[in-house]
């Protein structure tokens, strides 16, 4: 009963602070939309980033510390370079991964930016929020569309690349769950994944980010999230039933050989897939070592 009371209090806290921050965010977003002055829009963008990446995350982290009391252990966090453009690549098992990442990297890395589909800009209210927060729009033409309009071949990639131009003057973090979906045993079996603890990585999204932002990205953060007592659901996490989480972090350099055109260059595609499969195999081995108690951690 006490666990469910804790869960209800956590959920209510989320509703309250999210509603307040969203109302303020919408007001600033409308100012940004209606005032076409670059300086005003830059100021609005900074305020919006603070609301989302500092204000909301601070409230969420405070709620977790007071109510859920989950202990998070980190390894490699000291190697992370503050105020550096970065690509964060992580495994994905549960919705709890998101609050864990937000808590671990709070004020450690630049504001998060997510690539979104163009159609999401038409969602009521949320579309304005995505636009106001400068989330880059990802446009991918289908193979059939390109066959009917060959003159547009490659234009979707260039449009994505242009959408990232605004980030050259302000460090950001692009976060990508490489598996594209949450890990479950049924998905693992259906995929016939060669990894013990991971689904097969999807190369396209990661390659697109590196192609679009390779000129400014300064670090890749290889993040591995491990739940020693079993993967929790979000409600169980809210109820305080997740005693500990391990987050292993490796900082990698962005090398020139990772920033080719994955969708047009078959040689680069093969090279990138090999790199990502090796990367993913090492992550799988790391999870196995931690679960067997051979990982060295420090409390975060």
What's the pLDDT tens digit per position in 96-144?
999 999 999 998 998 888 777 777 777 776 777 777 787 777 665 556 6
pLDDT for 297 beyond 50: no
pLDDT for 67 beyond 80: yes
Q: How far apart are CA 280 and CA 274, in angstroms?
A: 10
- CB environment 103-141: b (16+ within 10 A), e (fewer): bbbeebbbbbbebbeeeeeeeeeeebbbbbbbbbbbeeb
In angstroms, what CA-CA distances link 4 with 1, 68, 134, 274?
5, 11, 37, 46
Which candidate, 181, 202, 188, 174, places its Cα nearest to that of 262? 202
Residue 86, H or E segment:
strand 86-90
DSSP 240-262: T---EEEEEEEEE---GGG-S-T
Contacts 24+ apart (CB under 8 A), 289-293: 290/224, 290/226, 290/228, 290/246, 290/248, 291/197, 291/226, 291/228
Q: How far apart are CA 287 and CA 293, in angstroms?
A: 10
Conformational region of residue 251, where left means phi above 0, alpha means psi within -120 to 50, and beta covers everything else: beta
Q: Which residue, of 69, 97, 124, is where some domain finishes?
A: 69
Which candidate, 227, 193, 192, places its Cα nearest to that of 71? 227
Q: Report the range of poorest mean pLDDT among 17-26, 35-44, 101-110, 135-144.
A: 135-144
Q: Determine, yes or no, domain membership for 1.
A: yes
Which candidate, 285, 254, 240, places its Cα nearest to that of 84? 254
Same structural domain, 236 and 259:
yes
Average pLDDT (14-38) is 91
Q: Determine, yes or no, domain membership for 141.
A: no
Same structural domain, 97 and 23:
no
Same structural domain, 190 and 85:
yes
CA 174 vs. chain centroid, Å, equals 6
Same structural domain, 186 and 44:
no
Query: Taking a C-beta distance cutoff of 8 angstroms, is the pair 259, 35 a contact?
Result: no
Structure tokens that stand for 219 in this block:
């670090």
Of 82 and 145, which is predicted with more confidence? 82
Q: What is the 3-state secondary structure (H, E, C) of 101-127?
A: HHHHCCCCCCCEECCEEHHHHHCCCHH
Domain count, the chain: 2
Q: Quick one: pLDDT band at residue 296, thresholds 50, 70, 90?
A: very low
CA 213 vs. chain centroid, Å, equals 15
- The radius of gyration of the chain from alpha carbons, rounded to an integer in Å, stands at 20
Same structural domain, 104 and 250:
yes
Q: Quick one: pLDDT band at residue 172, thresholds 50, 70, 90?
A: confident
Q: Determine, yes or no, domain membership for 164.
A: no
Same structural domain, 52 and 182:
no
Same structural domain, 242 and 266:
yes
Q: Which residue has the tokens 């864990």?
A: 100
pLDDT number for residue 298: 44
Q: How far apart are CA 268 and CA 208, in angstroms?
A: 12
Same structural domain, 252 and 194:
yes
Which candidate, 122, 139, 140, places its Cα nearest to that of 131? 122
Same structural domain, 104 and 223:
yes
Average pLDDT (139-162) is 61
14: containing domain: 1-69
pLDDT for 181 beyond 90: no
The mean pLDDT of the chain is 85
Q: Determine, yes or no, domain membership for 129.
A: no
Q: How far apart are CA 106 and CA 150, in angstroms?
A: 45
Whether this prediction's pTM lies above 0.95 is answered by no
Q: Determine, yes or no, domain membership for 160.
A: no
Same structural domain, 28 and 81:
no
């Amino acid at each position: 009963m006490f666990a469910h009371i804790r869960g209800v209090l956590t959920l209510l806290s989320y509703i309250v602070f999210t509603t307040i921050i969203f109302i303020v965010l919408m007001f600033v977003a409308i100012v940004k939309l209606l005032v076409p002055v670059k300086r005003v829009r830059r100021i609005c963008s900074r305020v919006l980033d603070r609301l989302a990446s500092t204000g909301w995350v601070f409230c969420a982290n405070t709620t977790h510390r007071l109510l859920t009391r989950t202990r998070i252990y980190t390894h490699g966090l000291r190697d992370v370079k503050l105020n550096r453009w970065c690509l964060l690549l992580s495994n994905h098992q549960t919705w709890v991964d998101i609050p864990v990442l937000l808590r671990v990297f709070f004020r450690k890395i630049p504001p998060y930016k997510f690539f979104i589909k163009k159609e999401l800009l038409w969602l009521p209210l949320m579309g304005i929020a995505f636009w106001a927060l400068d989330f880059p729009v990802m446009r991918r033409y289908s193979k059939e569309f390109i066959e009917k309009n060959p003159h547009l071949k490659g234009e979707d990639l260039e449009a994505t690349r242009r959408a990232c131009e605004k980030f050259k003057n302000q460090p950001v973090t692009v976060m990508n769950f490489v598996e594209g979906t949450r890990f479950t045993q049924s998905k693992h079996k259906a995929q016939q994944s060669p990894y013990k603890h991971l689904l097969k990585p999807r190369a396209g999204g990661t390659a697109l980010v590196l192609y679009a932002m390779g000129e400014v990205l300064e670090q890749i953060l290889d993040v591995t999230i491990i739940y020693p007592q079993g993967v929790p659901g979000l409600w169980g996490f809210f109820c305080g039933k997740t005693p500990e989480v391990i987050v292993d972090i490796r900082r990698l350099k962005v090398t020139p050989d990772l920033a080719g055109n994955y969708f047009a260059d078959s040689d680069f595609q093969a090279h990138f897939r090999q790199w990502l499969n090796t990367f993913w195999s090492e992550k799988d081995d790391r999870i196995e070592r931690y679960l067997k108690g051979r990982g060295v951690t420090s409390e975060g």
